[in-house]
Structure 1
């Protein structure tokens, strides 16, 4: 079996790998939560929120791929299996069934805020060990913050 040689030392690889794995779990679950809300959305602002949720899904899916590929580039095997995400997610889950647009906007706003907080911690954690991974996390955080602002403005 081939092993990817890391451009980082063992300590740096471990720190960056943990940050990237945590980001991967957050992004996979964000995509799942946003799609669940998208499918079950009801209310007078259905169309605008429905379409906005797809933007969040697209951002989360593209970002999770970028994060996973960065992990591989530094010699860390990303774990995006459903069981891993279920075991490690820290995101509050949506209730089952149809959801009013006001509840969805509040839930997504809160979820994005929580993810952004963890991403900012990961940015700090990768400052010294891997500025390249840090740069990736900074870019994703900027996009998450933009989505957070847009959802927050709807509440």
Structure 2
């Protein structure tokens, strides 16, 4: 990961060292949200099959909301005295996960893969909240709101994957490709 320098100043009530820690965590969140935005658009453009229109139209509000979340995180980084790194090259260089792996595919297959994407983002977000909470309640509050929104989007996705027995059709899948195959 790139070195994240401690800011020269920050918001009242935080030390610059605390702000540096928070900025580092927020920067990872910014990468994840920018990546999610692009992944959602990729799915939107490449979804096919009988559930096309339902999934196609379900994704646009998610895209818009995730873009807003990224903007909020970038602005919080700046408010804390940091530099929000939002360029595509930095995202690709710094992310710790692989690129989305499903191309043109059935809507349900994409949703199976997207469920795993959301799971990874939500797990990382919960860890970030746990680390930031003791340092800064304002940033914690921002992330908790985003957690609620992203969990709701995953619920929308999972509603398409739930069987009549109440289980997920993708249960046990460890990769996007496996989840897409199981769901489709």
Label 1:97 to 1:127 Cα distance change in 2 as closer, same or farther (>3 A): closer
Q: Distance in 1 between matches of 2:110 and 2:88?
A: 23
User: Which structure has the larger Rg over C-alpha atoms?
Assistant: 2
Deviation at 1:89, TM superposition (A): 2.4
1:6 aligns with 2:7: no
1:39 aligns with 2:45: yes
1:77 aligns with 2:90: no
1:152 aligns with 2:158: yes
Q: Distance in 1 between matches of 2:103 and 2:80?
A: 41
- Greater relative contact order structure (CA < 8 Å, 6+ sep): 1
In the alignment of these two chains, the number of paired residues is 153
Q: Which has the higher helix share?
A: 1
Alignment of 1:131-146 (within 5 A): 131-146=137-152
Q: Distance in 1 between matches of 2:149 and 2:30?
A: 15
Runs of 4+ off more than 6 Å = none
Secondary structure of the equivalent of 2:117? helix
Q: Which moved more, 1:47-56 or 1:24-33?
A: 47-56
Q: Distance in 2 between matches of 1:91 and 1:38?
A: 21
Secondary structure of the equivalent of 2:69? helix
Q: Does structure 2 retain, via aligned residues, the 8 Å contact 1:4–1:72?
A: no
